[in-house]
Structure 1
Amino acid sequence: DIVIVTAGLPRKPGMSRSDVLDANLEVVRGLTADIMRYAPDAKVIMVTNPVDVLTYAVWKQTGWDRSRVFGLSGVLDAARMASFIALETGFSIKDITTMVLGGHGDSMVPMSRFTTINGIPLDTFLPQEKIQQIVDRTRNGGAEILALKKTSSANDSPAAAVATMVDAVCNNRKRILPCVAILDGEYGHSDLAIGVPVILGNRGMEQVIELQLSETEHRQFQESANQVKKDLAGVS
């Protein structure tokens, strides 16, 4: 069984994902108790924001193996990045592979160095200035949608991203996807939930994949991890 948790207070224009933490933490804790009671063998995919913190909260409350509790983040952010690249280059989105690490928020780390178009590095087609604009737009993709919708946050793109994750688990695809995972020494962190590339299969989050980061990428990832830790400090 897979339980997908989406319940919670949505962001409003001007709010960050962290701004809804207190209200959504209370909601998710109640749901987690029900999951433990009625679906004790399930895997949990967290969608409710702030997803990094709430993935961690569910993992702690259940006491389950980290393979069974993981969250939506990079699958959605990477899809947005790919769509922006497709719009800019005119190439099919089916040929674009992207990777986004870090917290699901303003501190996320879109990885242009690991982004390709049919295996060809992105900087073959776009100058660095344009790539940076795409990186910035990816970081602010959720806020951009929120500003347009006014009263609710994104729906369709998160649903499509979750469907990708569910397909990978239910059909044992062994797909490499960026998701919120509990780290256990990877990337120099433990006891932390944050977006990293993982293998998704029928056992859930089966493995965290450690990328060799450049000095700049490592610094950006650490800054993102520090932001998630700051939010986690408010979770008792």
Structure 2
Amino acid sequence: MAKRSKISVIGGGNVGASCALWTASKELGDVVVLDIPQAEGMVKGKMLDLAQCSPIELFDCNITGTTDYKDIAGSEVVVVTAGLPRKPGMSRDDLIETNVKIVKSVSENIKQHAPEAIVIVVSNPLDAMVYTAWKTTGFPTNQIVGQAGCLDVARFKTFIAMETGFSVEDINALLLGGHGDDMVPLPRFTNIAGIPITQFITEARLQELVDRAKVGGGEIVKLMGTSAYYAPASGVVQMVEAIVKDKKRILPCASYCSGEFGIDGLFVGVPTLLGANGVEKVIDLDLNADEKALMDESASHVKDLVGIVQKMFPELA
């Protein structure tokens, strides 16, 4: 009899709870959501509430809210959403010091209690947090990956659908690089049902949609006063599904590059083959001169962020 997968989420706030909802509703496995002891009532209550949806939505899985890291033992995937969310006026980079401390502590516990798990990091600033989790756990690079590109591409596709009136299901797009302002758009890899996007949208208008996707998180922070959660969680669960079902999907993720795209030793948004072994391959592309310049600039900023982490926390160097 096949054993059910176990997916743990560290952080029971809006993103973590939304991850649990999507994961349970898709029946990807049993779900454990962990939060700090001060939030025990909140996380247990949320997960009990979610479990009580199962007779209506007809999904079968065990759903647990906890504050004890022992409960994540045996997880196939651990999702890290813990950390302070952005507030209006804050950049992702403003969160660095506080969130490194949080992600470092979380990663130490994952190393102790779920050493075989594939770890998906969502906490911001994303590229620096993936690096922090990797250095703290000491896990091989295939076991550590960041969710950013799935969200960025989803935003870009949404804006293209709004612009053209075509179904989001027929829109294919690819964005590389760091999360947010440093993302690298690749219009020549963007199409609608295989038809080049330039058949439908001018290059100038396409750039405007790219620019909106770049600040997509900030737009939502301004509107509702806190970070997005439905779409980030959906991006995570797309990755979780690829791993637990060994789907071999090519998704844009923050993965470790060792020479691909001319980048070495950094976690950067790249096309990533995701399967049961986590990051199974980074798909290298031949970029043109303009794309390469943007990718180099993006990687440079990721390197700067990692440098800040290393300066603040020499043990992570």
- How does the TM-score come out when normalised to structure 1? 0.98
Establish whether residue 76 from structure 1 lines up as the match of residue 171 from structure 2: no
How far apart are the structure 1 equivalents of 2:89 and 2:246?
A: 39
Q: 2:241 aligns with which of 143, 167, 184?
A: 167
* Amino acid of the structure 1 residue aligned with 2:254: V
* Amino acid of the structure 1 residue aligned with 2:166: F
Establish whether residue 207 from structure 1 lines up as the match of residue 281 from structure 2: yes
How far apart are the structure 1 equivalents of 2:293 and 2:112?
A: 41
- 1:1-236 paired onto structure 2 within 5 Å: 1-150=76-225, 152-236=226-310
Q: Secondary structure at the match of 2:82?
A: coil
- Partner deviation per Cα, 1:63-85 (whole Å, 9 max, x = no partner): 21111000001100000000000
> For structure 1, which segment, 187-196 or 80-89, has the greater mean C-alpha deviation from structure 2 after superposition?
187-196
What's the CA shift for 1:229?
0.8
How far apart are the structure 2 equivalents of 1:186 and 1:53?
A: 19
Q: Secondary structure at the match of 1:41?
A: coil
What's the CA shift for 1:61?
1.6
Q: Secondary structure at the match of 2:284?
A: coil
How far apart are the structure 1 equivalents of 2:185 and 2:154?
A: 11
Residue identity over aligned pairs, in percent, reads 47
Contact conserved, 1:112 with 1:135, CA < 8 A, in 2? no
Gaps of at least 5 residues in structure 1 are none
- Partner deviation per Cα, 1:24-63 (whole Å, 9 max, x = no partner): 0000000011001110111100000011111011111222
Q: Secondary structure at the match of 1:163?
A: helix
How far apart are the structure 2 equivalents of 1:17 and 1:99?
A: 22
* Amino acid of the structure 1 residue aligned with 2:137: T
How far apart are the structure 1 equivalents of 2:237 and 2:299?
A: 26
What's the CA shift for 1:222?
0.6
How far apart are the structure 1 equivalents of 2:150 and 2:156?
A: 10
* Amino acid of the structure 1 residue aligned with 2:146: G
How far apart are the structure 2 equivalents of 1:5 and 1:233?
A: 22
Gaps of at least 5 residues in structure 2 are 1-75, 311-317
Tell me what 2:51 maps to.
none
How far apart are the structure 1 equivalents of 2:222 and 2:243?
A: 33
What's the CA shift for 1:110?
2.0
What's the CA shift for 1:14?
1.6
How far apart are the structure 2 equivalents of 1:110 and 1:49?
A: 21
> For structure 1, which segment, 109-118 or 83-92, has the greater mean C-alpha deviation from structure 2 after superposition?
109-118
Contact conserved, 1:25 with 1:54, CA < 8 A, in 2? yes
Contact conserved, 1:197 with 1:210, CA < 8 A, in 2? yes
Kindly tell me the number of residue pairs found equivalent between the two proteins: 235
Contact conserved, 1:78 with 1:110, CA < 8 A, in 2? no
* Amino acid of the structure 2 residue aligned with 1:106: D
Moved over 2 A (4+): none
- How does the TM-score come out when normalised to structure 2? 0.73
Q: Secondary structure at the match of 2:180?
A: coil
How far apart are the structure 2 equivalents of 1:13 and 1:199?
A: 35
How far apart are the structure 1 equivalents of 2:263 and 2:163?
A: 36
* Amino acid of the structure 2 residue aligned with 1:162: V
